[in-house]
Structure 1
Amino acid sequence: MSDENQPIRDAATVILAREGREGPEVLMGQRGAKAAFMPNKFVFPGGGVDDADRDVPLASPLAANCARRLEAFPQSGALPGLTAQTLAVTAIRELWEETGLPLAKPAPWPGQPADDWVELADRGLMPDPGPLRYVFRAITPPGRTRRFDARFFLADVTGVVGDPDDFSFAQDELAHLQWVPLRRARGFDLPFITEVVIAEVARQMEQGGNVESVPFFDNSGPVPMFRRID
């Protein structure tokens, strides 16, 4: 399959934020040098939707406004049965796997959890989308080795259970996990779209965190389009 015909995979990313000594900080890590997609780049925790994400219970509902925006502009190649709740599960799972930080609430798990969630369930926790705010969406342009329809969520660190500096439960997908002052993040080796997202997040934080609309870089068709999801 040529790069131009790469399928677009649904994905979700979490921008975990907190207030630091130099102002707002965001959690980032570095992709491996041998990664097929964006090697060596510093990124936010995130990844593609798995089929099993559709069946994961949540400790609380996703905010209605957030869910409505996530369901706007569905792409024809989306995963069958994809919902706003599934995207929220993916975001929380990727944060958990890549950083070891659970965006969760204490709650009994109904039934037997899937393998990705056993550790969380054993700690008496369920994934909680309550802190998630949908802030950005971008589809990778044609011609790349991988293409994603990525939804970016902003979440305050207060939604994390445990020590936000403890990455001991993280898997090995991201190296050099660290809290980066937002004003200094552009000094890192970033993908272009990450630079754009950082600028948008900084703007929203300056305005008190109010998300009036979600920017959407739509590269799903032959002509790139910039949209706003109200």
Structure 2
Amino acid sequence: MSATAGEAKARAARPRDSAALILIDGMGRKNPRILLGRRHAALTFMPGKFVFPGGRLEPGDRRMNIAGPLDARVEARLLKGRADPDPTFARALALAAIRETFEETGLVVGVKDYGGPDKPPKVWRPYAAFDCLPDLQALHFIARAITPPFLPKRFDTRFFAADARCVTAKREGVAHDGAELVELVWAPLDRAEKLDLPGVTRNVLDELRARLAAGMSPFAPTPFFHFSRGIWRRDEL
């Protein structure tokens, strides 16, 4: 193998910006339920694993209307370390979490008080058909994690959380045998830990438990998980 070919093989895939949403049913209770989806067994990335709904950032996420802005502390943590701290990027991440949750579960997280957007981006039109607007004030920023470099697909994911009472509508039949998520499960925290979870999901679940125990304080630091020298490392944003 040539040096060039060896370097190409060793070069890790570039992580894609993405976002996920943890919906919590029973916020404030001792053992609330959280929503997880089981990935299709035929997928090349994390087949059969239980994960939080989520996916990559789309250009249209920067242009979607909102009912309420991100908390200033959340925005600052989302932008920490970026050479270009553009607030629209932080907002787009939060919107991506809501949109991907709708696409993968059919759950519409938003408010109906103002009706739907006038001219939603194409990727948001199915969501907008429910006459809702995303309310980013309802989101908590739980963690950031980058997929290990040895995996074929890599994501730089920001994990948000929201009270399940923020769900105002539902599109039926989204999760099925031929979909990306074949099953949706509302699992109590103590049972969720026993499911077949990827390592990063388990790390985030531990952080969620600690955040819930602290009353979901907005002053709590947000962890940043990344893989270095063969182990997961935890920094704080």
TM-score (norm 1): 0.87
Are residues 1:94 and 2:100 paired? yes
Q: 1:55: Cα distance to partner?
A: 1.2
Are residues 1:122 and 2:125 paired? no
Letter in 1 for 2:20: T
Q: 1:116: Cα distance to partner?
A: 2.9
Checking the alignment, whether the CA contact within 8 Å between 2:79 and 2:87 is kept in structure 1 is no
Q: Tell me: CA distance 1:8–1:222, structure 2 relative to 1, closer, same or farther (3 Å).
A: farther
Letter in 1 for 2:225: F
Q: Tell me: CA distance 1:81–1:220, structure 2 relative to 1, closer, same or farther (3 Å).
A: farther
Q: Deviations over 1:34-63 (max 9, x none)?
A: 212111100000111112211111111111
Residue in 2 that maps onto 1:12? 19
Q: Tell me: CA distance 1:30–1:186, structure 2 relative to 1, closer, same or farther (3 Å).
A: same
Letter in 2 for 1:120: Y
Q: Deviations over 1:70-90 (max 9, x none)?
A: 1012389x9x99611010110
Q: 1:5: Cα distance to partner?
A: 2.6
TM-score (norm 2): 0.84
Residue in 1 that maps onto 2:73? 65
Aligned pair partner of 2:198 in 191, 199, 207: 191
Q: Deviations over 1:134-190 (max 9, x none)?
A: 01011112110111111000111111103xxx6615252211101001111121110
Gaps of 5+ in 1: none
Q: Tell me: CA distance 1:38–1:6, structure 2 relative to 1, closer, same or farther (3 Å).
A: same
Residue in 2 that maps onto 1:138? 145
Q: Deviations over 1:101-144 (max 9, x none)?
A: 11111123443223332233232211221211001011112110
Aligned pair partner of 2:54 in 28, 34, 46: 46
Determine the C-alpha separation between the residues in 2 that align with 1:81 and 1:36.
34
Q: Tell me: CA distance 1:69–1:227, structure 2 relative to 1, closer, same or farther (3 Å).
A: same
Gaps of 5+ in 2: 1-7
- Between Structure 1 and Structure 2, whose CA radius of gyration is higher? 2
Checking the alignment, whether the CA contact within 8 Å between 2:116 and 2:130 is kept in structure 1 is no
Q: Tell me: CA distance 1:82–1:13, structure 2 relative to 1, closer, same or farther (3 Å).
A: same
Checking the alignment, whether the CA contact within 8 Å between 1:22 and 1:181 is kept in structure 2 is no
In the comparison of the two structures, how many residue pairs are matched?
Answer: 224
Q: Secondary structure at the match of 2:23?
A: strand
